[in-house]
Structure 1
C-alpha cells in the first residue's frame, strides 16, 4: 500500500501492569499471539488498540464535518454506538460532583441560559441532581435545562447534535455499556486550579470505589494530564495500569512535567506508571522519543486530529506505537482491521509470526521508514 500524501490543512478541524493482568483483556482481544508481561509495572497491549474518543467521537460545534455532531459525546448512547465497531476501548472524562458522585463530562464548566442570560457553573461545584438537570432527561415528558458550549475562540454556541442523549454517571457506564468494551478513564482536573494532595486523594478514592464495585472483569486504563493525580492513583491501587497524558511539547504549561515526552518519561518512571498517551503531533515532531519510551519499558498511545487519517495511524503502527484514540470510530477501526489486524492474524494462523511485517499490506523498507520519520516533523510544523 502506498502512503498517500496528507496535508494537515486537509484534516478535519477537531478540538482538539497490573497484578491481575487478565483483567486488561476482554473478549474483543484475540488470545493468539498475546504476550503478557508479569511485572506489575508493565503493560503490553495484545494488539494495536483502537480507542473511541469520548465514545463514538467528540462533538465540535463549528465543524463542517457532520460526523463531529452525530451523537452526543460522553453518553451511554455514544459508548454503545462505538461498541458496534471493532474497537477495544472507549475513552471518557470523569469528574466528581460536590456530593461525591463520579460523572462523565469533558468540560470544566457547564454553560446554559435562563431568561436570555448565559451563565456557567463548574461541574465539580454541582450536586448530582443539578448536573443531571441539563440536556435531555431520562424521565418521559421532563424538560431539561438548555445546554450551550464555549468554543475555543470564546463563542457560546448551542450544543446541537443529530442524536442526543442524557448525561450519565460512571456507575451507569459500567452497568449499561457493552461489557466486552474496555474503559480508558481520564481523571479530569482543571489546568487552572491548584489541587492539594488531600483533595486529589479524596476525589480519586471516590472514583476508585465505583470502579471497585462495578468493574468486574472489564479492561480498564486510567489516564490523566495531571502528573500528581496520575502518580497518586498508581499509589492508591495496583490493579489497573495508569498512563500519563501529555501534549508532547505542542503546548507550553507552567508545570514543566507537561512540556515534553522526555518529561513524561520521567513522570512515569518516578511514579511507577505504565505508559504515556501523547498528542500525535508531539510524537511525529519528535520521533526519536519513541525508542526512549520503549527503552523505559513504557507503552505509548496517542490522540489528536491526525488519528482520524488512516495513513497516519498505520505509520504509528510501524513506529511501534501501541494504539490510537480516534473520533472517526467506524472509518479508523475498519482501516486498522484491514491494514493491520487481518494481515497479522493471517500470518499467525500460518505459523509465520516472524514474517508478519513482510506480509502486512503496509510495506516499507527500513530505509523508507527512516526517511519518513525524518520527513514527518517537517510536514507538521505548522
Structure 2
C-alpha cells in the first residue's frame, strides 16, 4: 500500500487523547488481534490489545467524556471492557495493612471531608477502611467522597457510571474467566522497600492468584525492578514483565532509565518481557529488534496507543501488543483488518533493520511520529 504525503501541521498532537475514534487517517489498514501470552517469553505470535485499568483510565479534567464513562479499576469497568474483543485487562494491585490484595492505582487515596482534603496512604489502610471510600456496596450507606489531585488542583472523582472498590479476589470471581489479567504490582517510586517486605506483599497477591486464577491467562508487571525480579523467583507459572518509561523519564535507579537497561534487567533476571512507554519505542525503534532478539515479549502503554495508526505502526515494528484507554475504538479498528488482505512488502532495507511489516513505508511513519511528538 502506498503512503501519501502528510504534513505534521495537518495532524493533531499525538500525545493528546483523540476526540474522535480513528481521528488520524494516514492510512486505512488495521491490525489483527488475539494472543495467548500465558507461556511468556517471545512466544507472542499475534498482536494483543489490553484495556488500561479496564475500559480505560479516568482523566477527570478531560473534556472527552470517554475518559470518564466507567470508574477505572472496578468490576464495572472490567466487565464493560470484556464486551469488546480484547485479550487482557490491565489493573493495579496493592496490599492493605491487613494483607488483602486490592485494586487501586494511586499510592494515596484522597477524600473531601468537612471542607478539607484528607490524604492517606492506601497501604496504611485496612480493607474495611479502604471500602469506606467512594460508592458503597449497600445503597443505604454513603461513602467518603473521592477526589484526585490534577496539576496541583483538587478535582472531584465523578464518572458517568460509578462503582465501589474491589479486591483482586472479587475480580477473579466476577469477571469473565476467558479475559486475561495483566496484574501490575504497584509500589511507590518514592519509597525504599526491604526485600522481606516486598516478598510478603507479593506472596499475598500470589496466594489469591493461585487460588482463583484457574485457567485464566495472567501476566505480572511492575515498575519496581526488585519486585519484578522477586515475582519471577517466587513462581514460574506466569510471565513477569518489567515496566519502564523507556528513557522518557529519569530515576535514581539506573535500571529504570532506558530500554537497554530494561532489556539487561529482564535478561539477567530471567523475566519474560518488557512493557514500555510507547514514546520510548518510537524514540528508539532499533531497541525493538534488540528486545525481540533477546527472546523477550514487548508491550507498550501511553496516550499514543489511543490512535489506530500508531498502534498499527507498532505492529509493523514487531511490538507484541498495546495497552489502551479507548478500548471500544481501538478494538473496532483492529477487527476491521480481519477481512482485509493483500498487503505488499516492506522495503528490503527495512527488513534488514528489523522493522519488518507489510504494506507501508515504516521509516516514513516513524519519522512522521517522531516529528509530531517533538512538534
Counterpart position of 1:215: 213
The equivalent of 1:59 in structure 2 is 58
Q: Contact (CA 8 Å) 1:76, 1:176: kept in 2 or not?
A: yes
Q: TM-score, normalised by structure 1?
A: 0.86
Cα distance change on mapping 1:326 and 1:29 into 2, 3 Å: closer
Cα pair 1:13 1:305 within 8 Å, conserved: no
Secondary structure of the residue aligned to 2:362 is helix
Aligned residue in 2 for 1:334: 332
CA distance in 2, matches of 1:90, 1:221: 10
Distance 1:295 1:335 in 2: 29
Counterpart of 1:286? Answer: 284
Residue from 10, 16, 26 that aligns with 1:11: 16
For 2:206 and 2:344, locate their aligned partners in 1 and report how far apart those are by CA, in whole Å: 40
Aligned counterpart, 1:248? 246
Aligned to 1:17: none
Contact 1:51–1:87 (8 Å) recurs in 2: yes
5 Å-filtered alignment, 1:343-358, equals: 343=340
Alpha carbons 1:285, 1:376 under 8 Å: kept:
no
* Partner of residue 299, structure 1: 297
Mapped partners of 2:15, 2:200: distance in 1: 44
Deviation at 1:228, TM superposition (A): 0.6
Measured after TM superposition, the shift of residue 121 of structure 1 is 0.5
Q: Which residue, out of 165, 174, 180, partners 1:167?
A: 165
In structure 2, list runs of 5 or more residues that go unmatched.
20-32, 347-356
The C-alpha deviation readout for 1:9-67, integer Å capped at 9, x for no partner, is: 573289xxxxxxxxxxxxx957xxx8x99xx7724224210000000000011001000
Q: Rate the CA distance shift 1:342–1:262 in 2: closer, same or farther, 3 A.
A: farther
Distance of aligned partners of 1:162 and 1:41 in 2 relative to their CA distance in 1, 3 Å threshold? closer
SS of match in other structure, 1:186: strand
Q: 1:49 to 1:203 in 2, by over 3 A?
A: same
Q: Which residue of 2 aligns with 1:19?
A: none
TM-score w.r.t. structure 2 length? 0.87
For 2:129 and 2:344, how far apart are their aligned partners in 1? 53
Counterpart in 2 of 1:91?
Answer: 90
Match of residue 201 from structure 1: 199
Query: In the alignment, is residue 380 of structure 1 matched against residue 365 of structure 2?
Result: no
After superposition, give the CA deviation of every residue in 1:80-122 in whole Å (9 maximum; x if it has no partner).
0000001000000000000000000000000002211111010
5+ residue gaps, structure 1, are 15-27, 348-354
When the two chains are superposed, the root-mean-square deviation of aligned CA atoms in Å is 2.3
Matches within 5 A, 1:125-274: 125-151=124-150, 153-274=151-272
Check 1:342–1:240 CA distance in 2 against 1; reply closer, same or farther (3 A cut). Answer: farther
Identify which of 359, 362, 370 aligns with 1:369.
362
Distance 1:10 1:307, change over 3 A: closer
- Work out the number of aligned pairs and report it: 347
Q: Which stretch of the first structure deviates more once superposed, 372-381 or 326-335? A: 372-381
Partner of 1:70: 69
Check 1:265–1:357 CA distance in 2 against 1; reply closer, same or farther (3 A cut). farther
Higher RCO (CA < 8 A, seq sep 6+): 2
What's the CA shift for 1:370? 2.7
